Amino acid sequence: MAASGNAANPGRDAPRQFKTRRGFSLSYQGKTLLSTVDPQGQAERLAGVVPVLGRTLYLCPSPLYGYGLPRLLERIGDDSAILCVEQDDQLLALSAEAMGDLLQENSKLRLTKAEKPESLCAYVRRTWGSRRFRRLEVIRLSGGWQLAPERYETLAEVLRREIALDWSNALTLVKLGRRYLRNALRNLGLIPSTPSLDELSFGGAPALVLGAGPSLDGVLDGLTKRLKDERLSGDSRRFKIICVDTALPALKAMNIKPDLAVALESQHWNLRDFIGLGDWSVPVAMDLSALPATGETLGGRPYLFFTPWASLGIFKRLEAAGLLPEPFPPLGSVGLTAAALARRLTSGPILIGGIDFSFTIDSFHARSAPSRQERLRRQNRFLSLISGESAFRRGTFATLSKTGLPVRSDPALRGYRDLFEREFSRDPRFRDIAGSGLPLGLEIVDQEAAFDLLEGAGIEQTPAIRGKPSSRLPPSGLKPALEAFIHREREALITLRGILLGEIAPAPEALERLLDECGYLWAHFPDCAGAEGRRPPGTDLSFLKRVRAEIDPCVTIFDAVRSMIPG
């Protein structure tokens, strides 16, 4: 692979190595990547001063011969690791050969190609699991990083965000995981009488996806000017409207009836989105973990879908039983989920409006949204419409909208915006309607051009992005399958409870098997949340006491669901 500096006619683009006083120097693409004096010693000195902290992922761009890595491996603990990445194929082969023995001997060291950031994040999770590391440190032990500095910096930044996201998701799971699970168990009773989302299709109709951000007002004003009243109701429109649940009051105020509303919220906050809408019969796409009362609104027969908030065995058993609704990736935001639903439901163009990920000091949502209306009702001499304590709270920052106007945002919203761009910017069907929100990485069109597209002009249809074929049973088989599923799950809980109470004396491996099988009981515990495959052993008394406290509520829910199943 590496050509000697004294070899005749070395390949023009091949790495050229030179023997030095200690180790080898390396020249490649016109750059000297290792010192010509003492490359190994310099790398070891650098490795000796790297700050060593627990649960740290050290990113080493372009390790070349691996100089300095043995020294760093001696210093870091077993809870840390070193990830070496290389963007050049020839240098990757050189590193793999030079570091072969070191890679085989140490599980804390890995070498991989510097692929797309998303692929690298997935590689880290596969290798060491999620929530393994608390921080990322970049270590440059050679000059190889100079061949692609921006690429390596991008990889480091994305890895930092993913580590932070893992911990943020874990905190969300600690706070809401129990509610997600119990909502999902209660909503199992809807399965025999409720269609799955894979039964819905909009064919090739264009779709308008609406969030509840401040820019929604301008989109709705333009829409009412463009369409006559009879076309706003939906029956004679050529395009479909998919909206988030918080946007429903704003659409109702303009007499615009959507074709589908999307609900994710697991708590009671979104119920106010449905106040005053009892005379509407609007289809609702409802997550399995959403608040059960959501399914009783707007006609009471929602389309179910499923977003896995954790890796749980109960989901695999639901799928094996033919009961799991159509799965969607957990995107965290109802606006992103609405866009993903549109991508799945139609092959026509998709226009985005009101998904802003930003706000102003006096406007966080559209004017008819419940939170905005509540602020208006509470306005008096002492309470202004301007919410400075929210707009300037710690962590918020000023930025520019897609039209260049000043707006405000925060790290969570900015993270959702970045996720939106990663998920949808490569789909040519998506367009973003000009407004006050942050740029989404899509082509921005003005309202007239957007409405022309919705009316059927200008974009060829492409196949909708469908998921894998549904394993859900036909309607006639859902009721007996659900009854059998509930019976099995309930019996497992009863057996586990008997073991923990000392009424049953099983072999230790039986307890461990039941704890894994009933992982939904403890997935939200702080020491387990987001740490796939890691839980305290069955000999941990504190852990077992906490598990015991979770069993009876779940048994009660299964009993209630069993009574809901129509006879």
pLDDT (tens digit, 9 = 90+) per residue, 305-364?
Answer: 999 888 899 999 999 999 999 888 888 899 999 999 999 999 999 999 999 999 888 778
**Residue 90 contacts residue 1 (beta carbons within 8 Å):** yes
Q: pLDDT digit string (tens) for 37-48? A: 788 888 889 999
- Is a pLDDT exceeding 50 seen at residue 190? yes
Residue type, 122: A
Q: What is the mean pLDDT of the chain?
A: 85
DSSP 204: T
- Report helix, strand or coil for 299: coil
Q: Which residue has the higher pLDDT, 29 or 487?
A: 487
pLDDT digits over 403-436, tens only?
A: 888 888 988 888 899 889 989 999 999 999 998 8
> Which phi and psi angles does 75 have, rounded to 5°?
-90, -35
CA distance 348 to 266: 31
Please state which of the ranges 21-25, 155-159, 212-216, 476-480 shows the lowest mean pLDDT: 21-25
C-alpha–C-alpha distance, residues 221 and 214, integer Å: 12
pTM for the whole structure: 0.81
pLDDT tens-digit series, residues 59-103: 999 998 888 999 999 999 998 999 999 998 888 998 899 898 899
For residue range 244-275, what is the model confidence (pLDDT) as tens digits? 999 999 999 888 889 999 999 999 888 888 88
Q: Give the CATH number of domain 31-147; options: 2.60.120, 3.40.50, 1.25.40, 2.30.110.
A: 3.40.50
The whole-angstrom separation of Cα 407 and Cα 389 is 16
Angle at 388 between CA 384 and CA 389, to 5 degrees: 110
Taking 90 as the threshold, does the pLDDT of residue 527 lie above it?
Answer: no
Positive/negative CA dihedral, 228, 233, 234, 239: positive
Nearest to 282 by CA among 264, 262, 266: 262
pLDDT band at 458 (very low <50, low <70, confident <90, very high): very low
Q: What is the pLDDT confidence band of residue 6, given thresholds at 50, 70 and 90?
A: very low
pLDDT of res. 3: 39
306's CB contacts (< 8 A; 6+ apart) are: 287, 288, 289, 315, 324, 325, 326, 327, 328
Q: Kindly report the length of the chain.
A: 567
* Least confidently predicted of 229-233, 330-334, 389-393, 456-460: 456-460
- Starting at the edge strand found earlier in the chain, the sheet holding 56-61 runs 109-113, 81-86, 56-61, 135-138
Among 15-24, 198-207, 297-306, 322-331, the least confident range: 15-24
Q: Considering only CA atoms, which of 303, 296, 366, 301 is closest in space to residue 335?
A: 366
Residues 6+ apart with CB under 8 A from 24: 17, 18, 34, 39, 65
Instruction: Tell whether the model's pLDDT for residue 15 goes beyond 80.
Output: no
Q: Using 50, 70 and 90 to split pLDDT, how confident is the model at 285?
A: very high
Q: Say what percent of the chain tops pLDDT 90.
A: 42
Confidence of residue 530 (pLDDT cuts 50, 70, 90): low
Neighbours of 506 (CB within 10 A): 14
- Distance CA(490)–CA(496), nearest Å, equals 10
| pLDDT at position 380 over 90 | no
User: How do 406-409 and 397-400 pair as beta strands?
Assistant: antiparallel
What are the sequence ranges of the domains in the chain?
Answer: 31-147, 194-454, 475-564
- Residue 30 pLDDT greater than 80, yes or no: no
Beta strands in 143-270 (DSSP E): 207-210, 240-244, 260-263
